[in-house]
Structure 1
Amino acid sequence: MTTPPVVFIHGLWIHSAAWQPWQELFAAAGYTTHAPGWTGDAATPAATRARPEALAGIGVAELTAGYARFLEGLPARPIVIGHSFGGLIAQKLLADGLADAAVALSPAPVKGATKLPLAQIRSALPVLRSPKNKDRAVVLTERQFRYGFGNAVSRDESRKLHDAYAIPGPGRPIFELTAAKKDPQSPTKVNFSAVRGPLLITGAGADHTVPEVVSRQAYGLYSQSPSVTDYHVFPDRGHSLVFDSGWREVAQHVLTWVGRA
């Protein structure tokens, strides 16, 4: 039986290089994998940090369109696996019929998600503190990264993850999230009733950037969907769950789910 390709989509502030261990795990299981970066990303974290202006002003629609073009160039419809904003994009691609199945790991809120925990607000402040950041690329300090991503690992590990994978991120997607409630054409909108392939949404119990209650609400928005939607919680994990030292637990759960999807 031929396995579908697997495409990994990273989230805001993290380079696609963080997916390398996942790619090796999935390749060993017989999958062909891809981890293309966002529009504006360079080939390495260091090169991306050197050109933050390349990411300035890019929003969810442009990011989704870039991945749609990539998926359309593959020999078969893939399985898409996304983290954070990558999880939001994965849901959109699945609903649009461009993927056979999708996994959304601590996904950024879709339009219709109304939960707004204080931790999530604090995690977004590096962007939202200035309206000018809508058209800029924003860099997280080590301290900001520690709160938003590395709070469930040691301080030393958080620092190493920041040094290895953190990159500038466009501010526009965060502003699009905050405007979604009043924007009927929000780029964060997903067709919850689409007939589509299976979807797995996961939450992380210690996540500050996308608190678990937000992931759970996203799952609830699919309650009337005619298609398979599953949910899983990693209770003690933070937003770095896909690329910190505990990545294998998450990846193995996803790999098992993909094998059944």
Structure 2
Amino acid sequence: MTTKPSPLPKARLTVREGQIDYPTLVFLHGVYHGSWAFEEFSQTFSQAGYPVAFIDMPGHWGEQRLNTRSDIGYDGIVDATTQMMDAISGRKIIIGHSLGGLVALSLRSRNDVQAMVLMATPLPQAIRSKQWRLLLEFPRQAVGFLTTGNPDWLYHHEPFTAKYFFSKFTSDEKKSLANQRIQSLHEPCKLFKEIMAQNFERQPPIKPTLIMIGSEDPTVTFAVGKQLQKITDGKIEIVERAGHDIMLEDSSSLASGVIVNWLLEHAADGR
């Protein structure tokens, strides 16, 4: 008798209304995160009148969570996000953090996507270039990840998240709360393998893009921003006193203010 595989968890869409003539800002989170990462950050946009939508990727919310052996990879994440995007009416501007930024690049050709904000978005080559450094900095955890494919080895290790998610300016309270949530999540080995196999290239139509980089981010550096710029013709903004998790930093209000101003000035029909 054959055993049917368990159904994969579903994505979740949460929408907060705003001015009906404004495009909806769609927030896409990164690995080991969820829509909770944008709870405070998104308030600036709601106050500016924008409707906002949060997409929790499959297995990142509720009781049915992903594990390292779950059969979902990058393509599955993109498909699930596409379904949620289809459920949002009207024009959309994607604000994607890290993995969410890569998904935004995969969805940029949609007719309803008007513009993109790529926050700390690591192209696969940037991740590959970090592997030797990780072996020096966190040898046990890096070897565990590279030999088993299980990303929990790194992402559940607080010294790793302290260096690669947050800046030295992040408050201990914010780091502690974020780490509790990060350690409640797991990512499939398949997801990381498929991310590394992606090849993001320049493709029409070119849409307004803001590339945001934290000044303290050791992975998504200005050099990575320049690579993203070649793909998108985007504008690079450096967020001072910020690490990879720009939206969770004490300086997050500066970043949200930059985005609001950019939407008004550079995104066609941004209001």
Q: TM-score range by the shorter chain?
A: 0.7 to 0.9
2:247 matches 1:242: yes
Runs (5+) with no aligned partner, structure 2: 1-19
> Which aligned pairs between 1:1-261 and structure 2 lie closer than 5 A?
2-43=21-62, 47=63, 51-53=65-67, 56-109=70-123, 116-117=129-130, 119=133, 125=142, 128-133=145-150, 139-154=155-170, 156-157=172-173, 158-164=175-181, 167-178=185-196, 180=197, 188-222=198-232, 229-260=234-265, 261=267
Q: Separation in 2 of the partners of 1:234 and 1:205?
A: 6
> Equivalent residue of 1:169, what SS?
coil
Indicate conservation of the 8 Å contact 1:57/1:137, yes or no.
no
RMSD, aligned CA:
3.1
After TM superposition, give the deviation of residue 142 of structure 1 in Å.
2.0
Offset at residue 255 of structure 1 (A): 1.5
SS of corresponding position for 2:80:
helix
Contact 1:126 1:138 (8 Å CA) reproduced:
no
Larger radius of gyration: 2
Paired residue secondary structure (2:56): coil
Q: C-alpha separation between the residues in 2 aligned to 1:253 and 1:234?
A: 9
Give the percent of matched residue pairs that are identical in Structure 1 and Structure 2.
20
Give the Cα separation in 2 of the matches to 1:242 and 1:55.
Answer: 29
Residue 174 of structure 1 aligns to which amino acid in structure 2?
F
Alpha-carbon deviations, 1:191-245, whole Å to 9, x = none? 51211421111222211343332233222334xxxxx521112244211211122
In structure 1, list runs of 5 or more residues that go unmatched.
181-187, 223-227
Q: Which amino acid aligns with 1:92?
A: S
Question: Comparing 59-68 with 114-123, which one deviates more in the overlay?
Answer: 114-123
Secondary structure at the residue paired with 1:248? Answer: helix
Deviation at 1:26, TM superposition (A): 1.1
Amino acid at match of 2:179: H
